Amino acid sequence: MRNLFSSQQQHEKERSLIANTAEGDGKAFEELYQLYYNRLYQFIFHIVRHHDCIEEIINDVMFVVWEKASTYNQVCRPSTWILGIAYLKSIKSFEQNSTREDRSDEFDDNLDYFPSSNTNWVSELEVSNWLHVAFNKLSTEQRAVVEMTYFQGLHYNEISEIMQCPENTVKTRMFHARKILAQFLHEHNGKG
């Protein structure tokens, strides 16, 4: 019950920040930006699979939040509204850059790929690499559904709002994503 209460408090805080942003409060906007930066980074990466365009997409998303804060109707959770904007911006960026050379397997020197020394980082790196390859087997829409479900904790009805499609389409995308990932796991384990 406590978790539900703190979650509700967080939603109210975010609603207040959006309302203050709508009134031109730069500090509220900055707080909202900081609050969502890491979440947006992870969310966008799972859709576009390139680190080099994420900063630009985050800035585009937050510019829309700044410009359109007054249009937020407070019916959906703030995260649903902001991730909806991020989804649309990510898809647009992905489509614009789909002809670009695939460099998704390159390491980004700015990210810390190695966990702390008290963990088995070799095993974690292997799992991370496996997940990276497996995620690349999914379509953009399937990756987005998996990201929103498992990493963002959203329900199918919220995802359908974000993706602007029927809830059954979301369920179908998840079904196919699970099937592809299960097949990949089966093939990977068969070779090992």
29-75: pLDDT as tens digits? 999 999 999 999 999 998 888 888 999 999 999 999 999 999 998 88
Question: What pLDDT was estimated at residue 48?
Answer: 87
Same domain membership, residue 84 and residue 55: yes
pLDDT of residue 132: 72
Looking at 28, 63, 98, which one is the last position of a domain? 98
Residue finishing a domain among 98, 129, 156? 98
- Number of folded domains that form the chain: 2
Domain presence at residue 169: yes
Q: CA neighbours within 13 Å on the CB side: how many for 178?
A: 8
Residue 177 has, within 13 A of its CA and on its CB side, a CA count of: 22
Pair 37, 86: CB distance under 8 Å? no
Q: What is the pLDDT of residue 94?
A: 82
Q: Which has the closest alpha carbon to 77: 18, 118, 35, 34?
A: 18
CATH number of the domain within which 185 lies? 1.10.10.10
Domain boundary among 65, 98, 131: 98
Same domain, 47 and 77: yes
- Does residue 103 belong to any structural domain of this protein? no
Task: Name the nearest CA neighbour of 56 among 90, 81, 27.
Answer: 90
Residues 141 and 79 in one domain: no
Q: Residue 108: inside a domain, yes or no? A: no
Amino acid code (one letter) for 133 = V
pLDDT at 99 over 80: no
User: Exposed e or buried b for every residue in 56-87, given b needs 16+ CB within 10 A?
Assistant: ebbebbbebbeeebeebeeebbbbbbbbbbbb
Give the pLDDT of residue 113: 41
Which pLDDT score is estimated for 190? 59
Residues 17 and 92 in one domain: yes
What gap in Å lies between CA 15 and CA 75, rounded to an integer? 10
Residue 175 lies in a domain: yes
**110 in a structural domain:** no
* Same domain for 171 and 137: yes
Give domain status of residue 89, yes or no: yes
The tokens for 131 are: 């997940």
Asked if residue 186 has pLDDT above 90, the reply is no
In which element (H, E) is residue 129 found? helix 121-136
Containing domain of residue 147, as a range?
116-192
The mean of the pLDDT values for the chain is 82
- Give the CA count within 13 Å in the CB-facing half-sphere of 111: 11
Residues 80 and 28 in one domain: yes
Residue 3 forms part of a structural domain: no
CATH code for position 94: 1.10.1740.10
Q: pTM value?
A: 0.68
Per-residue confidence (pLDDT) for residue 124, from 0 to 100:
52
Better-predicted residue by pLDDT, 175 or 47: 175
Same domain as 122, residue 168: yes
Q: Could you tell me if residue 121 is inside a domain?
A: yes
DSSP designation for 154: -
The angle subtended at Cα 63 by Cα 58 and Cα 66, nearest 5°, is: 125
Report d(CA 149, CA 158) in Å as an integer.
10
Query: What is the mean pLDDT of the segment spanning 112-139?
Result: 61
Minimum mean pLDDT among 13-17, 120-124, 160-164: which range? 120-124
